[in-house]
Amino acid sequence: MDRLKLSLAWKFFPAAKLHIKTVNGVKVPLRAKGDFASLEEIFVKQVYADLIDSLPGPVLSWVDLGCNAGMFSAWLYDRAGGAVNHPECRAIMVEPGVCAETAKEFVQLNGLKGIQVVQACIGDGNLTTFYESKSSTRSSSAIKPDSREKLRPMETMTINALFEQCNFQEADLLKVDIEGAEKDILRAQDVFHRFRAGILEWHAETTTGQEVVDWVKGNGGRIVKVVSQDGNVTEPLASRVGMLSWVRE
């Protein structure tokens, strides 16, 4: 019933300042229709739970590349204990599109002084064409999505430039969901060894599952779990879109 009320409220009062509060006291803002879908995917369906549960914990510091409205980071903070236990979490959340403002609001609502939100497009450091959807949930700098987007030129930031700007040297977890631009993470130097573990989504238009495996193993890491996102259960690494979790040995 609460979800129905929120959904109806968004339709009739799109400018309303809506947010939910988790059992651990974490405030999660909802500002666009796509936020409800992300909320359901991450908090209700728990799509990241198996991947995170397969990694050594706890996760108290992370880099969230492609954070959208901040649902994944809100979920990690909630799992850490949220406002109930006041965990000392430290993170960078990166989003090039309009959802960066909602992510900033999540940080402000919860008073998270150790979490930074950077509105930037991760890439090779050069100018790119950015395909931005209204909700930002399908935005990309590497792949043209199937829906209608606003095209605009945008400077990209390398992952190492991000670390330098934010004075962020290492963390428990690297999460990469940047719609094809993950290729630039695999090509960057000295990224893997900054993290204890990671979750990376690949898109075969730019990066294959096997290329991600080679990157992990080539850096001395170990693949923990592979998940297909296009229904290819028998050979998940051959999926057009998939996710895997890894640990640094």
Provide mean pLDDT across the span 91-113: 94
Provide mean pLDDT across the span 18-47: 91
Provide mean pLDDT across the span 95-120: 94
pLDDT of residue 31: 86
Q: Spell 207-244 as b/e; 16+ CB within 10 A means b.
A: bbbebbbebbeeeebeebbbbbeeeeeeebbebebbbb
**Residue in 7, 8, 12, 62 with CA at minimum distance from that of residue 35:** 7
pLDDT of residue 1: 46
pLDDT of residue 150: 80
Two structure tokens written together for 249:
């040995």
CA gap 29, 121 in Å, rounded: 23
- Band (152; pLDDT cuts 50, 70, 90): confident
Look up the CATH number of domain 47-248.
3.40.50.150
Q: Among 120-124, 130-134, 144-148, which range has the highest average pLDDT?
A: 120-124
Ordered by start, the domain boundaries in the chain are 47-248
Residue 236 contacts residue 242 (beta carbons within 8 Å): yes
Average pLDDT, the chain: 89
Q: Is the predicted pLDDT of residue 2 greater than 60, yes or no?
A: no
- Band (124; pLDDT cuts 50, 70, 90): very high
Q: Is the predicted pLDDT of residue 246 greater than 90, yes or no?
A: yes
Q: Tell me which DSSP letter residue 98 carries.
A: T
Element counts in the chain: helices (H) and strands (E): 9, 12
**Number of Cβ within a 10 Å radius of residue 42:** 21
Q: Tell me the pLDDT tens digit for each residue of 175-211.
A: 999 988 999 999 999 999 999 999 999 999 999 999 9
CA gap 150, 4 in Å, rounded: 30
Cis peptide before 58 (omega within 30 of 0): yes
* φ/ψ (deg, to 5) at 18: -95, 140
- Which residues have a Cβ under 8 Å from the Cβ of 195 and sit 6 or more positions away? 63, 170, 171, 172, 173, 174, 248
CA gap 130, 202 in Å, rounded: 18
Q: Tell me the pLDDT tens digit for each residue of 44-101.
A: 999 999 999 999 889 999 999 999 999 999 999 999 999 999 889 999 999 998 889 9
- What phi-psi label fits residue 38: left (phi over 0), alpha (psi between -120 and 50 degrees) or beta? alpha
In 28-70, which residue ranges form alpha helices assigned H by DSSP?
33-39, 49-53
* φ/ψ (deg, to 5) at 100: -60, -35
